[in-house]
Structure formats: C-alpha cells, structure tokens
Chains A and B, each alone.
Chain A
C-alpha cells in the first residue's frame, strides 16, 4: 500500500484510562467491553 507520509504517535497515561480502547475504536471501529489490562 502506498502512502505519502508516515508518522508515529504514542499514547500514554495511567492504567485503565482507556488507551487501548481509544486506539482500537479509532483504527478498527470497534469497542471491546471485555478488554483486560495491557501489559508490557
């Protein structure tokens, strides 16, 4: 797949604030009620 620009963003913040849920919703379009904590 072709693209013109590539950038890297990082999301940070305390545990359970919803970082993974936000990225998942944005990129995949789904909200996962059952997501457990991200580790590592």
Chain B
C-alpha cells in the first residue's frame, strides 16, 4: 500500500494527514479491510461518469462500518465532475444523507473539491478525538451554511 502525506494548519495546530491509497480491484478487497481498522477517517469514492461505481458505494459503506472502529468519520466523494456524468448531484447527495455523511463533488484534473473534502473529514476526526481542543473553535471557524456547501447543491 502506498501513502501520501500533507500538513494542514487547523485551529492553529499543525496537523499531519497521512492518506492511505488502496487498490479497488476485487482481488485486493480483503487486504483493504485490514487497513480500515487503523484509520481515523474514511473517504469513499465513486466516479460520477460510471454508474456501476456509484452502485458499489453501499458495499464500501458496509465494509467500512464492519471493519473500521465504531463511529469513524466517513465522507462520500463523487469524482470526475469535469466529464459527462451518469450520476446526478441530487442522487448522490440523497445517498450520502441516508448514511448521514457529507458528500463532496471533486475533480482531480481541475482541482475541485478535494482540499475542502479532506479538511472537512480531518476536522471531523479531530473534533471526535479531541473535543475539548477542537470543538468550540472549529464551530466558529466557518458558518454552518458554508460548511455544508461542499457539493454546491
């Protein structure tokens, strides 16, 4: 497994974010399961131009809930919004709402949404793990309406 790393300043604290990449192919799914256990947060990704990948979000959601620590923050990412889509924003938002998780639309190519999404889940992790240090100041950080505008829907 490969990982990426980036530092962000959140609430005047330097946060090192280690991001584990995984292989999506069927034969590696058992391997991925082991990685859930050590994760503080999970990004479930699908491709808005490929409905089959959206249909598999339920699988990844189940796998996350079964294998990760209880209550771990999860967000849904709809990627490749720079291309012709098969899955609408409304549909994806509705699915995310049904799991009570946030939905972000992203484009790696055009650099849309990804930074916001990762900062959002990082804040969720920090608030969960260190509520006394992060909770109050992060609420003041941005108005609630702005925090919810990840998918601009």
Contacts and interface: CB of A to CB of B under 8 A. Distances in A.
Given A3-B16, A27-B5, A9 B43 contact: yes
B15 A11 contact: no
A2 to B, nearest CB: 7
A18 B45 contact: yes
Contacts of A12: 22, 24, 32, 42-45, 60, 63-64
Nearest to A26: B114
Interface stretch (B92-100, B103-111, B136-144, B145-153): B103-111
Given A3-B7, A31-B109, A23 B22 contact: no
Interface of B is mostly: mixed
B2 interface: yes
B4 A24 contact: yes
B121 A9 contact: yes
Contact of A22 (B6, B16, B45, B64): B45
Interface string A6-40: 11111111111111111111111001000001111
Interface of A: 1-28, 31, 37-40
